[in-house]
Amino acid sequence: MIFNSIPFVLFFSLFFALYWWVFPKNRKAQNILLLLGSYFFYAWTDWKLLGFIIAVSALNFYLGLKIQQATVDHTKRWLSYIGLTQGIGGLLFCKYYNFFSNSFNELFQALGLQILWPTLSIIAPLGISFFTFRTISYILDVRNGKTKAVDDGVVFFSYVAFFPSLLSGPIDKARTLVPQLEKNRHFEYASAVDGLRQILWGLFKKVVIANNCALITQDVFTHYQELPASSLLIAMLLYPFQIYADFSGYSDMAIGMARLLGFEITKNFDFPYFSQNIAEFWRKWHMSLTSWFTEYVFTPLSIYFRDWDNKGLFLAVLINFTVVGIWHGANWTYILFGFLNGLYFVPLIIKGTMNKKKKWHKNGSLTGLEFFNILKTFGLVTVTFVIFKSESVTQAFDFYRCLIDKSLFKVPVLHGISMLFLLGLLSYIAFFMGMEWQAKNKNHALDFLENKMNVWARKTLYLFLAFVIFYFSSMVTNQDFIYIQF
């Protein structure tokens, strides 16, 4: 069930009504409903693997309690290893097994060895990368005493399967989401309304920006060899907007939905395309994932390597980002994508400007240098997204090769796309970025309106947004979210 579909709207409306009317102020009942709702939501897309998520939850629930009860450090460590083995092992097996065995086979073949590692047909449970990261963070936090083990089964199982963020994040750590499940939730008008606003904006991003960009990028990336370089340039520049709109749109919807149910879940994007350097970009892009990696991968590594000064930092950053890349899937493209982004940090570490957080000027203005830095950062990211989007590393480099060509100055060819459509899309993107710029210190793009527009202007804007969403979602059949595959 994806968010922008009729079944989901019906499901959520019914759920909302039961949640607030039938079980108001009854935390236990609400949690049970949340759990059943989450499982129903999951089963709708993938009922065969519902057992998997239940088993994973049960194991980690048990381990959490045992780790807490253990008095000896040694026991705690071993119990946590079981949890980590299950989590990392499950991920490796479901998502990466075939990748590794294919890579091994290629290696063997190159070495002239006649060994064939078997490949299996494995169905990776949907959202495995997301819910596994929740259980891993839980086990580590319990072991390190950062959070208490959860003793209420319903709470823990709901934490793992919390449906708004089950399939595609944000990845909440136990210490932020569990306490909210453990306390009573109250319906707050302002928060619910703002949640709806955020959903509206998320839908706009997904349906209007991402889906329409996809019409162009999909075709160009498939037929890049036959098209003039100018077409490739257009697709390359559109893709960052597509993936950002797609993924942050999903996050906005998830956060908005959680707010309608009285939860505040982790922010996932903080207007990343206004970043002035790559470090800032990664602080603002897929924040729940980067903060996860920072806490559980980068920090331990950097502590471990700390005697090597900057060299240790390079190494920690490179490893960290390579793993971030791998997290996206079993393909060399993702690994290279992560590695390159890690490399981007090197000059920052040398200059020592990595952790200088920029503050926006009070009047919202932008100096020439800042503007240049924003464009530069966007450019750097755009280049790596080509690799991210490509089917293989070879294809990515072939794409670059085709891009640097005299046909860059030819009139671009875009199959089935009229000039009018392209102009329309560009103006939607301009509107999208303009709104985000206005709201760059807020939680989401429609957050700033309250003080700046009167009621009717606001309502008109909402109606306009709703209308373009209606228009484009009628036109294009539902397209899956990019990040659901990870």
Partner 1 sequence: MKELLAQVNEIFIDVLDNEDIVLSETTSANDVDEWDSLSHIQLIVAIERHFKIRFTSKEIQSWNNIGEMLTSIQDKLNQN
Partner 2 sequence: MKRFILNTLKLAILFTGMVYLIQWGISYRISGKTVTGYDTLECTENVNADLVLLGSSRCWAHFDPEFFQSNYRVKTVNIGMNGHPDILASHLRFENYLARNKAPKYAILTMDPFVSAGNLKKNSNMVNKNDYARFAFMPNTMDEPLLQYFKFDAAERYVPLYALCKYQMFWDCITLNKSDSFPKGFELNDEEWDTLKYPITSENKKYFFKESDIPDIKKALMQFKQLCQKHQVKLLCIQTPTYKAVYDSKSFNWPGAICRELNIPFFDANYEAIRNKTVYFYNTNHLNRTGVLEMNSRLKNAQQLTDFFKINP
Residues involved in catalysis: 328
Q: Does 391 bind partner 1 (CB under 8 A)?
A: no
Stretch in the footprint of partner 1 (CB under 8 A) among 90-98, 169-177, 323-331, 353-361: 353-361
Angle CA 182–187–189, to nearest 5: 145
Token pair for 357: 């957080």
CB-based contacts of 90: which residues, under 8 Å, 6+ apart? 56, 128, 132
Question: Which of 102-110, 306-314, 321-329, 461-469 is the region at the interface with partner 2 (rule: CB under 8 A)?
Answer: 461-469
Does position 122 bind partner 2 by CB under 8 A? no
Q: Which is nearer to partner 1, 222 or 441 (CB)?
A: 441
Handedness of CA 161, 147, 328, 92 (dihedral sign): negative
Q: Is the CB of residue 235 less than 8 Å from the CB of residue 482?
A: no
Dihedral sign for Cα atoms in the order 51, 52, 53, 56? positive
Q: Which is nearer to partner 2, 430 or 475 (CB)?
A: 475
Residue 323 C-beta: closest distance to partner 1, Å: 15
Which SS3 state, helix, strand or coil, does residue 12 take?
helix
Among partner 2, partner 1, none, the one that 298 touches (CB under a kind-dependent 5 to 8 A) is partner 1
Out of 25, 457, 475, 480, the only residue in the binding site for partner 2 (CB under 8 A) is: 475
* Distance in angstroms between the alpha carbons of the first and the last residue of the chain: 16
Closer Cβ to partner 1, 187 or 304, answer by number: 304
Of 22, 193, 423, 453, the one binding partner 2 (CB under 8 A) is 193
The CA–CA distances, whole Å, from 299 to 83, 289, 378, 462 equal 20, 14, 26, 43
Residue 281 CB, shortest distance to partner 2, in Å, is 36
Return d(Cα 235, Cα 218) in angstroms, integer: 8
Binding mask 284-323 for partner 1 (x = CB under 8 A): ----------xx--xxx-xxx-xx-x---x--x-------
d(CA 106, CA 117): 10
Q: How many residues does the chain have?
A: 486
Q: Any alpha helices (H) in 47-162, and if so which ranges?
A: 50-69, 73-91, 97-110, 128-143, 153-161
Alpha-carbon distance of 306 to 241, in angstroms, equals 37
Measure Cα distances from 439 to 27, 43, 301, 435 in Å: 34, 37, 35, 6
Would you say 95 or 286 has its CB closer to partner 1? 286
User: Which partner in partner 2, partner 1, none is near 20 (CB below 5 to 8 A by kind)?
Assistant: partner 2
Backbone angles phi, psi at 357, to 5 degrees: -75, 130
| Contacted entry of partner 2, partner 1, none for residue 189, CB cut-off 5 to 8 Å set by kind | partner 2
Nearest approach, Cβ of residue 306 and partner 1 (Å): 5
CB of 294 to partner 2, least distance (A): 37
Nearer to partner 2, 282 or 472 (CB): 472
24 near partner 1 (CB under 8 A): no
144 binds partner 1 (CB under 8 A): yes
**Residues 157/57, Cβ–Cβ less than 8 Å:** yes
Interface ranges with partner 1 (CB under 8 A): 144-145, 279, 283, 294-295, 298-300, 302-304, 306-307, 309, 313, 316, 352, 354-357
Site residues, partner 2 (CB under 8 A): 20, 187, 189, 192-193, 196, 459, 462-463, 466-467, 470-472, 474-475
